[in-house]
A and B are shown apart, each in its own frame.
Chain A
Amino acid sequence: MATEGTAAPAGAPPAQASDQAATVPPNAPTTSTTEPTQLTGAQLKAKAKAEKAARRAKVKEVKEAVAAAQPAPADAKGGKGKGKDGSQTLGPQGQGKAGLAHRPSMNGRRPSILIVEKDIRSSIPECFSHLPMAKRIHPSHAHKDVHPAVLTVGQQMATFAIKDSIARLEATLLAFRKVIESYETPKGNSLSRHFVPHVLNPQIEYLTECRPMCFSMGNAIRLLKTKVNSFDIDTPEDEATEGLLEMIDLFINERITLAEFVIARNAAKQIQEGDVVLTYGSHRLVEKTLLRAKNNGQSFSVSIIDDPYDRGGQVMATALREVGIRVFYSPNLGGLKTNVERATNVLLGAEAIFANGSLHAAAGTADIAVAATAASKKVVALCETINFDRERVSVDALTYNEIDPEQNSAESFRLLYDTTRDHYITGVITEFETGTGNSPAQAILALLRKQEDPALN
């Protein structure tokens, strides 16, 4: 039940969970059908060998684990039985030594992952070879300490079923909630010492392997770890678990749900009667803002420029049209100039914001911002503060980015994000009300310092 248990509260429709169950098995066939075209004979052989090794390792592992639990078959089915499942998978590693005993068998599986990875990455041009790319890991290849809930979330991230930063954060937190719920401190250990290195870290490693972590996940995990470390060594386990669960709930409420509401409210105030709001692709905050403004009784029209490789804008356009907003839809950046000239202001959804005020957003956002600035239009970015990064700085899009695994072949190459420098942005709207709720991008660091980790207190 772990699959549906995580997906439903994550705000994802239940259909996604069943989608997930359906998409995971076909993963293997699709990779095997696409790869042979790029593989040489020798590589094929190596791959076949690796697969064989993996199969053997799996069999071996099942045999080993049979006494304690049956993680592999349970994973393959997507997990049935709530509490039982958790205790089963955590059982062996709770015994400490049994967890270590599994390490060698896992090493046996590793090479197969590496070979597959090499093949996929071989088509990446050299000048982009430093950038990470999401990767589908078959559930049977995952570390056996990975909780089924996390396993599911990892799959959803790798397949881009859960895409944007906040959805990923929420899914991760809910999965971690399950991990914490099913956690039992082994004898002679305390939660504050044992939980992070032995339970949480394997989950994080797995998620990172599926798809590079987004900034919000990094921030949340950092806060979570600080919270764990803050517990005294003598803190009773129940109390500590309770504290962690409470923190996660508070976190989701404050930094995600409330933030979304406040940002939409603040941003909606900026939309005037008769405005033509230009936006790029689809972003949850932008959509919420526009719906909210419509709800406030404003009449305005929206011009959506879509990314032809994503087409999320079509979905948003349909949703906006349903409430009676006039929508102009451009399937690509072709008529950018005309669109920008018609617009009165530009509303951009951000994936993250760097410490220097640069916007990390869907590829193409920067082009919109540049065109809008050239036409002297107001460019407003919407972003929750959890997406702010206080350490990393980016002045170009090739410092931090991600390669689109769907568009990675000899025929095509695509980056998922681009970086919009702060001078192309008029303002950023966050959930913290600084004046109008509109704080300039340069003031991000000050803002962050001001609200330093409220979740901890």
Chain B
Amino acid sequence: MAPSQTIYAPSMDKLVKSLKGQTLETSIEAFIHLLKRRQVKGDECADATAHILRQVVAKSKWNDVDQLLSKVQAVGTRLARAAPHEPVIGNIVRRVMGLIRDEASEDRNADDLGSEAASDIQSLATAIAPHTQAAPPQRPGPIPFRPPPLTSVASFHVAKPKSMFNLLSVAETAESSITAASTPLSQAAPTSVHALRSEVLDGIEEIMDEISQADDQIAGFADVQICPGDYVLAYLPSRTVERFLVKAAAKRKFTVFLVSLEDPYTTTGEASHAALRKKLSSSGVKTISIASNGLMAYMTRISKVIFGAKIVYQNGGLLVDSGASVAAQAAKAHSKPVIALGGVYKFCPEDPSDEIAGEAGDSSTYVSYADGLKVDALEVENTVADYVPPELVDLYLTNLGPQTRHHLAAIMADHYKAEDVGYSFLSNE
């Protein structure tokens, strides 16, 4: 995760670092500012949302599950509204809420069962397992809590004593389950708050791990999907796609057509692709940079089209970088397979929104606003995000392996709770 965050690394690092020192409100505000200035994008958005929500769970005061849920939802809504163009924020919030519900219902189930021994062992196991997982400091991410020095009381309080509280609270829940078998969740909560907190925190850590490992896991399928001699068209290769191609290049000899919709007169985007080209050519994979708008001309030569999805909607449609739909459409016209890469955390249990797909970007790179005549004359529309309808996508390559459109619903159901799916972070209230 850390090495590839080249472009937005400074602000993101700063934010993540600041999390432990600042109050919750300050870090939320800081993140919202980053979002609004679009200094955090895509994958970093997901990661940062998870970070913030972990702070919410760890730092804010809550006495029962409902309070926690509403707190997470409130913060999630604020974040989602700050960046309506990043539905991935909503995904993460839903995942965390689903996680909380899961943990809570586990407790409740334990209560309902009333079988001390079974629940005892079960809760012990669940409490200890994540703990042992979390304890060794071998996690890849820049998890700010790990270095123990007493920089911040809050994070210290969350990270370290967790293990002890866990042990204690497990005993407590076990006891309470004996004494009050049918106690409602909200009343039983105070005793299990600590247990729940640490379990939820562990769950969030897992989500963060999932986000950081998704690219590598997707890249693991590279040599299956790419055959020797292929001509692969990579549209605006994202970090995920880059890793995928580099991994494939280690095993296969193929040719990559890199397509960018960069403005030809300001070649800022070239730098990142130059690095990719270098990596690919060092492993013997030829790259051809296509400087073109239309892609129909090249499609006869192409054997498959690959691009990264920003979001996978529940109908199978994709939110992508502007112009990727042109690539998908050209591929369809020539019956070439289209492979969309994206971790499961990008699966969004919503229907596609026109507003996001038609998101307008800075048009001044294309039209000089020093030219008054043109400013008057043109209604310039430079869209930066695009929607790819499901019928144009052949394969969804996720960290859980290759999926077809028909399996998306099952994956959505696995990862989101029905209660959270219905909630729209953008519209109501």
Contacts and interface: CB of A to CB of B under 8 A. Distances in A.
Interface of A: 125, 127, 306-309, 311, 314, 317-318, 321-322, 326-339, 363-368, 370-371, 374, 396-398, 401, 404, 407, 410-415, 417-420
B297 A363 contact: yes
17 contacts: A125-B255, A314-B367, A329-B367, A330-B381, A332-B323, A334-B384, A339-B381, A363-B293, A366-B294, A367-B326, A368-B294, A397-B300, A398-B297, A407-B264, A411-B270, A418-B297, A420-B296
A418 B366 contact: no
A334 B290 contact: no
Nearest to A306: B366
Contacts of A417: 297
B378 A413 contact: no
B187 to A, nearest CB: 54
A336 B387 CA distance: 10
Given A337-B325, A370-B333, A332 B293 contact: yes
A267 B241 CA distance: 45
A412 B269 CA distance: 13
B366 A331 contact: yes
Interface stretch (B20-28, B147-155, B157-165, B369-377): B369-377
A364 B294 contact: yes
A407 B262 CA distance: 13
Sort A-B residue pairs by CB-CB distance and give the 8 closest, nearest first.
Answer: A364-B294, A331-B366, A335-B383, A321-B377, A366-B296, A334-B322, A412-B291, A418-B297
A401 to B, nearest CB: 7
B383 A330 contact: yes
B384 to A, nearest CB: 7
B322 A335 contact: yes
A331 B380 contact: yes
Given A318-B377, A321-B377, A396-B300, A338 B293 contact: no
Contacts of A331: 263, 363, 365-367, 380, 382
Contact of A332 (B274, B296, B325, B382): B382
B301 to A, nearest CB: 6
B297 A415 contact: yes
B391 to A, nearest CB: 10
B288 A308 contact: no
Interface in B248-286: 255, 261, 263-264, 267, 270, 274, 286
B290 A414 contact: yes
Contacts of B264: 308-309, 407, 412
Nearest to B286: A125
A84 B374 CA distance: 46
Given A309-B264, A321-B377, A371-B329, A334 B382 contact: yes
A418 B286 CA distance: 23
Nearest to A417: B297
Nearest to A366: B296
Nearest to B380: A329
Interface in B338-372: 357-358, 363, 365-367
Contacts of B289: 410-413
Contacts of A413: 288-291
Interface string B325-336: 110011001000
Nearest to B260: A412
B378 A314 contact: yes
Nearest to B261: A332
A222 B374 CA distance: 43
Given A309-B291, A411-B289, A413-B289, 12 more contacts: A127-B231, A314-B378, A330-B383, A331-B263, A366-B297, A370-B330, A370-B333, A411-B270, A413-B290, A414-B290, A414-B291, A418-B296
Contacts of A338: 357-358, 381, 383
Contact of A333 (B326, B333, B379): B326
Contacts of A414: 290-292
Nearest to A304: B378
B205 interface: no
A283 B261 CA distance: 22
A356 to B, nearest CB: 15
A326 B377 CA distance: 8
A299 B111 CA distance: 73
Contacts of A412: 264, 289-291
B329 A401 contact: no
A367 B294 contact: yes
Contacts of A407: 264, 291
A367 B294 CA distance: 6
A421 B363 CA distance: 32
B298 interface: yes
Given A308-B264, A309-B264, A336 B291 contact: no
Given A317-B377, A334-B383, A398 B301 contact: yes
B293 A308 contact: yes
Contacts of B270: 411
Contact of A335 (B255, B298, B366, B381): B381
B386 interface: yes
A332 B330 CA distance: 16
Contacts of B365: 331
Nearest to B263: A308
Contacts of B333: 370
Contact of A337 (B231, B367, B386): B386
B293 A318 contact: no
A415 B292 contact: yes
Contact of B381 (A328, A371, A411, A418): A328
B171 interface: no
Contacts of A337: 325, 357, 386-387
A353 B266 CA distance: 35
A173 B296 CA distance: 33
A401 B297 contact: yes
A133 to B, nearest CB: 14
A309 B293 contact: yes
A379 to B, nearest CB: 14
B300 A335 contact: no
Contacts of B300: 396-398
B34 interface: no
A431 to B, nearest CB: 27
B295 interface: yes
Contact of B379 (A322, A328, A418): A328
A121 to B, nearest CB: 15
A336 B386 CA distance: 9
Contacts of B323: 332-334
Contact of A367 (B263, B288, B329, B376): B329
